[in-house]
Chain A
Amino acid sequence: MTLALIAALPFLGALMPAVAIRAGRSACATLTAAFTALALALLALQAPAVLDGGVVTYSVDWLPALGLNASFRLDGLGLLFAGMILGIGLLIILYARFYLSKSDPMGVFLTYLMLFQGAMLGIVLSDNILLLLIFWELTSLSSFLLIGFWKHLPEGRQGARMALAVTGGGGLALIAGMLLLGHIAGSYELSVILSQREVIQASPLYLPALILILLGCFTKSAQFPFHFWLPHAMAAPTPVSAYLHSATMVKAGIFLMARLWPVLAGTPEWFWIVTTAGLVTMLIGAKIAFFKDDLKALLAFSTVSHLGLITMLLGMGTAKAATVAVFHILNHATFKAALFMTAGIVDHETGTRDLSRLGGLRHLMPVTFVLAFVAALSMAGIPPLNGFLSKEMMLEEAAHTALGPAWLLPVLATIAALWSVAYSLRFLSAAFLGPQRHDYPHPPHDPPFGMWAAPAFLAVLVVLIGLAPMPIAAWLVDSAASATTGSAAEVHIKHWHGLSSPALWMSVAAIGGGFAILSAARPLRALYDAWPKPEAKAIFDAIVEPMAGLSRRVTATLHDGSLTRAVAIGTTAIAAAALWAFATAPHDAGTRMAMPVPPVVAIAWALVLAATAGLVLTHRNRLFALILVGIMGLIISLGFAWLSAPDLALTQITVEVVSVILMLLALNFLPRTTPRESSPLRRMRDALVAAAAGTGIGALAYAVMTREPAFPPISAYHLAQSKPGAGGTNAVNTIIVDFRGYDTFGEIIVLGIAALVIFALAEALLRSAPALSRLAGTLPRPDSAGDRHPLLMVMATRFLLPVALMIGVFIYFRGHNLPGGGFVAGLVFAIAFVMQYMASGLSWTEARQRIDHHALIAAGVLTASAAGVGSWFFGAPFLSSSYTYVHLWPLEEFELATAAIFDLGVFLCVLGAVLLALNSLGRLAVRAGETSSNDPYSIDPDEAR
């Protein structure tokens, strides 16, 4: 349970900024950080069990038929990663609070950050690999939002798109790979998969699964040849870079390789692919990093290089190398996050992060310099810092691994380490050493404590782990490495391995070579600049642009802006498919007895058909067409009444009234006639399409009605249980408020949302300048009635109001047993009020209206929810209903049902929604110039006195 809560907390935290941002930036950041801190605290409570070698699990069945369960696990590896994600996440929130300027929307930023944090946490805590994939995709999406946070920068948008294209594309491959893996192992639970090493590696599907999974990991972790997206993602705000590229996003691929290490590693295929990719990435990244002038670009390529290092170690396939990889994951997160943050500080305080414009900052920004100094030396692998420890262990492993000739891997690893020393030193010397300058864009100084506190904390960790690795870090590394390899790791971290250790001499060579390269920076730079280099972005664009162009062309051809064409194509396709299905399947004539046709019904039928034909012929006269629609609706409701559906008849006739009023109001603004635009040919085509579809639907309806149902209808149950189960004799109503109450609950919410959408649309219109200028003066039209408030109508509607309301109440109460109910009652009430609007005008009615329409909708939804939630207190599921009979003298015995409360909610929601919709149109009319008297024929007793 705790595990699910830990994974959920960041997502809950993501909602907080929306609530808290108005309370100020600090309050908002504090509240959001509290969720991360709470998750971290809960994680710490689980830690003792995990460090003892246990695995904490929690599982809820979600879609067990698909093998998709919300199952979580926490072992040493998960603990290490979850700790880094939450711990560094906390520091990032603190840092971002000071980094972001007042003009940046910090609430949005924090929401994206927490979404990302939750997604990352989900990856490392998932036990079900399908669940893991969902979180994986979530990281791609949320990182897209984070990288492109500065929407106004084209680099930000392009970098975000590139990151999404590469990691999202890899994610697709990963889905396929994971599905194959689950298929081989026969389960989607990691705990099962991890025990199936022999089965998986013997399977013929092992290689495809491996390649697909590695594609996902390599794209995410920026391994060669997919490393190019990472530097472009540097357009993000620095807190994002510090988070995504030290502890989280790019480590997700590493995490997955470590997670699946027990079942995937150890084969030649794994060794060759993973080790080579890691080695090449490490070399390329380290070399390019040295020649970058942008502080963040330098760090970006160094990240690529270090990710390559970790990948290479995992690729070696030995438990020892995997242990070193785990240790370096931790070390890299600490020094790289600190370095990104110091780079951000330099950028923030000097206004540039271009190394050619920096230098001499050590006296101007002493605190920042100390932090950068510690972290950069750790990155270079200088003793005794933590980066030295893991790099030394890496070199040791490299010295004992043969990739082709025995000397190849150690030599290449040493060269990569040498470049690494060189770029770390360059980071320090070019920014902080050298003479002070006088042309910084801003006069530099150290930032406030809040901004350097986070990197300082990390720098302290760098030193502490470096000085005392055994007490500070070994237990965590031990636990994580044991969980990774599946065997006890027994970590021993030492500074001194003795003179006979090859790693010592490789290290010495690397440090010496690094200094040498730094001193020869200028000629090397000239050589580098003269060398032709493939520009990754150009290649990427060259691949993506034609594809984007093609899809643009396809889209433009399919959607040429003509909606009618799309409808015609869709209708024709469906009709053709139906015809094909009909023509290729056998069928007999229906056998069901036809119902006799009384003459009155035949006349009504002829009327509907005549009205329909008239409508099609005369639809250009819009008012006349609307009247015909009203006639059809009336006859249809009569038809419902005759065909044993009194509830439908009541609903249809009331809805018909409000619909026609609504369309009349709309017609008030629109042209009165439709111009003749389409050619005869076009009309012929439309008529053909429509006739084909109509014939098909009519034939289908006839076929259905002349046959008995293929299966006995389930409504026999509803009819039998209506009285004993739901306590009502009107089976239609008991289905609506009881048996299928969930449906109805959803429906009234939809109706409420529709009304709010209408309100918002009207509101938007009332705020748009072009719309307002067109709206002004359109009303009243020259052909409007002369008398705005006809005496008879005003008086009649006022007398009718209480009567109409009484009828509404009556319909509501009888609904459970006789035709009626909340829907119809709500509509009757709405009509009663709409009559007042029509007769006495908007301002008169609004002045007397005490309850807001929005409030009615909310009250309706809340009442219905209360009726549903209420059943929980009696231990019954949501929306269970109950009823009892009450005898109150002098009344007859009557029934009280909780379903009536639900129906009350339906009533309120329908009433509010209908009134809000019509009222929105009325407000448009007022802005269009419609005038109405404030008190037509009203006698105010106070005024009269």
Chain B
Amino acid sequence: MEALIATTIGTLTAAGLYLMLRQRTFPVILGLTLLSYAVNIFIFASGRLVAGLPAIIAKDAPGYTDPLPQALVLTAIVISFGMTAVIVLMSLGAYFESGHDRIDMDDPEERP
């Protein structure tokens, strides 16, 4: 199981980074989404993998999973939505202001 999760994290990271290295905004947004998945799963997995032992306190529970990484990831998932939304709006803004959705500033005039 650990190997499956690790390969999932690795593949998502690699695909996310590859898409982030593309030159248009939309693939970069998708890449960022994949990278968020990978990071969230990584943090979650740092609590180690357990099946069937949710962190709901009960008298007859045989044990619990680690709730702390879960709490951290829960808020991270919501925050990454906020981040994605901001970037989506920024990409739209750049698209409508400049007329194209390239992210590299080829024109020296545009550089800061």
Contacts and interface: CB of A to CB of B under 8 A. Distances in A.
A453 B71 CA distance: 64
Contacts of B71: 732, 735-736, 740
Contacts of B48: 592, 705, 709
A847 to B, nearest CB: 24
Contact of B18 (A559, A616, A645, A920): A616
Interface string B79-107: 11111111011111101110101011111
A686 interface: yes
Interface string A817-829: 1110001000100
Contacts of A612: 11-12, 15, 34
A705 B44 contact: no
A111 B41 CA distance: 47
Nearest to A917: B85
Nearest to A666: B88
Contacts of A615: 15, 19, 30, 34
A517 B63 CA distance: 97
B14 A632 contact: no
A715 B67 CA distance: 7
B32 to A, nearest CB: 11
B56 A731 contact: yes
B34 A761 contact: no
B102 to A, nearest CB: 8
A595 B10 CA distance: 19
A691 B21 CA distance: 12
A497 to B, nearest CB: 64
Main secondary structure of the interface of A (DSSP, over half): helix
B82 A642 contact: no
Contacts of A613: 11, 15
B80 to A, nearest CB: 8
A605 interface: yes
B75 A736 contact: yes
B24 to A, nearest CB: 5
A546 interface: no
B21 A568 contact: yes
A187 interface: no
With most chain A CB atoms within 10 A of its CB, the pick from B41, B45, B96, B97 is: B96
A596 B91 CA distance: 43
Contacts of B38: 697
B97 A768 contact: yes
A674 interface: yes
Interface in B18-45: 18-27, 29-30, 33-34, 37-38, 41-42, 44-45
Interface in A550-572: 556, 559-565, 567-568, 571
B99 A601 contact: no
B92 A648 contact: no
A327 B54 CA distance: 76
Contact of B103 (A563, A602, A750, A751): A563
Interface string B58-81: 100000111110110111011111
Interface in A625-668: 625-626, 629, 632-633, 636, 639-640, 642-648, 651-652, 655, 658-659, 662-663, 666-667
A293 B71 CA distance: 71
A755 B41 contact: no
A729 B6 contact: no
A632 B13 contact: no
B54 A819 contact: yes
Interface in A699-716: 699, 701-702, 704-706, 709, 713-715
B89 A651 contact: no
Contacts of B9: 697-698, 701
B84 A698 contact: no
Contacts of A719: 55, 57, 64, 67
A671 to B, nearest CB: 7
Interface in A680-702: 686-687, 689-691, 693-695, 697-699, 701-702
Given A609-B8, A731-B55, A761-B89, A695 B74 contact: no
B68 A735 contact: yes
Nearest to A920: B89
A774 interface: yes
A374 B52 CA distance: 90
A677 interface: yes
Contacts of A740: 71
B16 to A, nearest CB: 8
A523 to B, nearest CB: 54
A675 B24 CA distance: 9
Contact of A644 (B65, B85, B89, B103): B65
A705 B103 contact: no
A663 B82 contact: no
Nearest to B50: A644
Contacts of B90: 761
B13 A674 contact: no
B1 A655 contact: no
Interface in A736-782: 736, 740, 743-744, 747, 750-751, 754-755, 757-758, 761-762, 764-765, 768, 770-771, 774-775
B55 A644 contact: yes
Nearest to B84: A659
Given A562-B105, A670-B25, A735-B71, A702 B49 contact: no
A771 B46 contact: no
A632 B19 contact: no
Contact of B101 (A568, A671, A678, A686): A671
A702 B6 contact: yes
A642 B49 CA distance: 10
A713 B11 contact: no
A564 B22 contact: yes
B14 A762 contact: no
Contacts of B106: 561-562
Contact of A648 (B12, B22, B23, B74): B74
A642 B4 CA distance: 14
B27 A674 contact: yes
Given A615-B30, A713-B68, A677 B23 contact: yes
B78 A771 contact: no
Given A731-B57, A750-B82, A651 B10 contact: no
Interface in A565-599: 565, 567-568, 571, 592, 594-597
A910 interface: yes
Contacts of A568: 21
A563 B19 CA distance: 13
A652 B74 CA distance: 8
B4 A758 contact: no
A663 B11 contact: no
B104 A670 contact: no
A561 B108 contact: yes
Contacts of B8: 605, 608-609
Nearest to B19: A619
Nearest to B46: A704
Given A561-B111, A619-B27, A632-B37, A747 B78 contact: yes
A678 to B, nearest CB: 7
Given A609-B7, A671-B26, 12 more contacts: A592-B48, A613-B15, A619-B30, A648-B44, A655-B77, A666-B29, A670-B26, A687-B18, A699-B10, A701-B45, A750-B82, A817-B56
Closest 5 CB pairs of A and B: A698-B10, A694-B14, A561-B105, A702-B6, A595-B1
15 contacts: A559-B111, A561-B106, A567-B20, A597-B1, A629-B34, A645-B44, A647-B74, A701-B41, A701-B45, A730-B55, A757-B86, A762-B89, A765-B93, A765-B96, A768-B97
Interface of A: 556, 559-565, 567-568, 571, 592, 594-597, 601-602, 605, 608-609, 612-613, 615-616, 619, 622, 625-626, 629, 632-633, 636, 639-640, 642-648, 651-652, 655, 658-659, 662-663, 666-667, 669-671, 674-675, 677-678, 686-687, 689-691, 693-695, 697-699, 701-702, 704-706, 709, 713-715, 718-719, 722-723, 729-732, 735-736, 740, 743-744, 747, 750-751, 754-755, 757-758, 761-762, 764-765, 768, 770-771, 774-775, 817-819, 823, 827, 910, 913-914, 917, 920-921, 924
